Structure formats: C-alpha cells, structure tokens
Structure 1
Amino acid sequence: MPTTARWAATLTLTATAVCGPLGTTALAAPDLGPSGLYAPSALVLTMGHGQSAATVTAERAVTLNCAPTASGTHPDAPRACAELRLTDGDFSALSVRAGVMCTKEFDPVVVTVDGVWKGKRVAFERTFANECVKNSYGMTVFTF
C-alpha cells in the first residue's frame, strides 16, 4: 500500500473514531434550548386531605426532575417523566386508567404541582374524591 493511501486511511479512521461519538451524543440530547442548555423541568408535587389547597396542610411532597434525566424523590421518576412528556407537561390531560374501580367514599384529596416544565412556570391544583381516584389518573405521576 503506498504511503499516501496509508495516511489517508489512518486519518479517516482517526476522524471517525474521534468525531463519530460526538455526533451521536449531540443527536441524542433532548430538549436543548437556544443556548444549548437543557430547559429545566423541575416540579414539586404535594398531596393532602381536604377540599382546597388553601385549607389543606400537605401530608406528602415529592420532587420530580425530568431534564436532563429523570430524578427526584418521586417513587417512579422515570415513568412519571415519560408520562408527562406524552402530555407535554399538561397535568389536566392525564386520563383515567381503564379498569380502575374505586369506592364512592368522599374523602377529598388535593394535589398541587409547582415548578417549571421545559422552562415554563407550572402551577396546578386538583381535588379528587378520594385517594383511589387520585391514583387512577395517569399511570404514575400522582401515585406517591
């Protein structure tokens, strides 16, 4: 093999080895904003018994961070983040799971969500008839 061909092959292999992984990583990076940073998605979810957030003391609170990776004190952060990505962070778009049966007991539960989703401020409050009904919305977001 001539020397020129060897140098060309060596340079090609070196460029592929060095630049190839960089291109793959850049394509896989989710939710990059215009500055090249992740748009924050960090939420605090609370739950308490009562009829409104104004009159309820939070009994449980969890954190949920969805960017750049799922984390926080939520019991199933990866699945909760995946579920929220499907609704683009719209908590009111979470639907009731099929086949869930709850009693008609009235023991109101209030859930609040505060934080940011993809860099936008989020404030959500919903009162459910009881904890079973709360847990039936979506798959994992309100199950904490």
Structure 2
Amino acid sequence: MQKLIPQPHDHEYASFMADPQGYFLSSLPSLFDSTKYMAVIDIISAHSHEEEYLGEIKDAYTRWPGEPDIIDAFYRFSVNIKKIKNEIHRRNVDPRLRNRCGAGVPPYELLIPTSEPGVTGRGVPNSITI
C-alpha cells in the first residue's frame, strides 16, 4: 500500500470515511508498478542451473590446493549439511508433527540446502543476489 489509513485528525479522514473501499483501492500501486516489482523479484529469486549451494563446491582440491585441513573441514561441514537436509525431509513426512504434514499443509523447504533451477522457495546458495 502506498498510503496509510488516515487518523481522525488527518485531512484525508473524511474521504476515507465516505468511501473506505475507494480509498483502499487508490492506495494500491499501479498495474505497471506491480508488474515491474513482480518481474524484479522473480529475477533475483530464481536459481540458475550452475548455482553452488551451501556445502557444495565442485572441486575443493583446486580451490584450496595444499590445504588438507581446510578440505577436510569442508567435507565434514558438507556431511553435516546433508544430515540437515535428511532431517528436514524426515520431519516433513512424520505424521506426528501436525505443523509439518496433513491436508493443505505444505512441507517445510525453506532451509533445504539445495534446489532445482528456477523459483522454488528452497535452497541456500553460497552467495546471494539481494
């Protein structure tokens, strides 16, 4: 909304009281502004097919040559990230957790570490675009 609901002492209060629905509709952004906003959000929210996610690096040996301690720590971290992914999946299918599964309840996917390309609502990339 582009305008707040006016208070009784505001000069727009009378027009708000006369036609609350019209006041509300006049406070919404234009169709062009809404479309532009949706396009920008879609572009910055989409995952590319070559994106690297938390705990994923294509070849750690070429990134950190001669650093076996760093490579070992990274692989331990990567294993822990995979355990988190499996735990989220396990909780999503557990019928005892009524906030996770049931009719009309979407599974929790926000912090699942990986994602398919596109806008998915899941995946934790190594870097962000916002």
Q: TM-score, normalised by structure 2?
A: 0.23
TM-score normalised by L of structure 1? 0.22
